[in-house]
Amino acid sequence: MDKTREILMQLKSGDISIEAAESYFKRAPFEEMDYAKLDLHRGVRSGFPEVIFCQGKADEHLLRLYEKLVEADGCALGTRASEHQYELIKSAIEDVQYDPISRILKVARVQKEKAGRIAVCCAGTADVPVAEEAAQTAEYFGTNVERVYDVGVSGLHRLLSKVELLQSVNCVIAIAGMEGALASVIGGLVSVPVIAVPTSVGYGASFGGLSALLTMINSCANGIAVVNIDNGYGAGYMATQINRLAVS
């Protein structure tokens, strides 16, 4: 979306010719790479460029995907990346950034102007990796993020001290493992959408996050949507969509 707008603005100002602009729009909407079809048109269609799920990808494939995205857009976002993958990409793209907590691996040469505001809340510090994946995804896509961490229901006063903040944002992401009650509590306190993220944090009977997922799906509080277990990226993406609607 940003690149398309940039081309149109350059054409309008006379900085590029009609032929140059035409050649850009004649590009195929995806790049055939044998092992992948890189969706370079996604940003135009949805407002969000393609994001790389790094886990499980072959080194050579991952490196070429990053190089192609950066070449096309000047930026690239990857999730579930390892330290090894960071070192691999850094060998070719020096300004790549890696956060070992969220496992976000990104190149952000084009700084997006941030608008609106959401809150990312998590129940305990063991949930912070998923919370950071959500927060950093939203920030990458141009959303201001307020972090409210370690406010689980075992100490409700901690959450209640942040109610004014939660009631002032455009969307709240509620992240919790164990029994996953945090989303229901927040849902009863705010008038904005709540995106619930169950995490795999918990002892045996939590079934790797399934108990939290079922609690969130069965919440009696209104305005709660639920994403998959540990899917901080999906929550950050959806929260940005909601935030964009709120500020448009």
Q: What is the pLDDT of residues 155-175, one digit of tens each?
A: 999 999 999 999 999 999 999
E strand or H helix at 83, and its extent? helix 83-90
Instruction: Kindly report, residue by residue over 51-73, the tens digit of the pLDDT.
Output: 899 999 999 999 999 998 888 77
Q: Is 8 helix (H, G, I), strand (E, B) or coil?
A: helix
- By C-alpha distance, which of 130, 174, 132, 129 is closest to 152? 174
User: How many percent of the chain have pLDDT more than 70?
Assistant: 90
E strand or H helix at 242, and its extent? helix 232-247
Give the contacts of 85 (CB within 8 A, at least 6 positions apart): 54, 57, 59, 62, 78, 105
Banded model confidence at residue 48, pLDDT cuts 50, 70, 90: confident
**Mean pLDDT of the chain, nearest integer:** 90
Is the pLDDT higher at 46 or at 103? Answer: 103
Domains of the chain: 2-108 (no CATH), 115-247 (3.40.50.1970)
What's the Cα-to-Cα distance from 156 to each of 59, 98, 233, rounded to whole Å? 45, 34, 26
- What's this model's pTM, rounded to 2 decimal places? 0.85
Banded model confidence at residue 33, pLDDT cuts 50, 70, 90: low
Instruction: Kindly report, residue by residue over 201-226, the tens digit of the pLDDT.
Output: 999 999 999 999 999 999 999 999 99
Is residue 1 scored above 60 in pLDDT?
no
In 64-148, DSSP assigns E strands to 75-79, 97-99, 104-108, 115-122, 143-148
Res 69: pLDDT: 86
Alpha helix positions (H), 121-231? 128-140, 156-160, 163-166, 182-187, 210-217
Res 73: pLDDT: 78
Res 110: pLDDT: 75
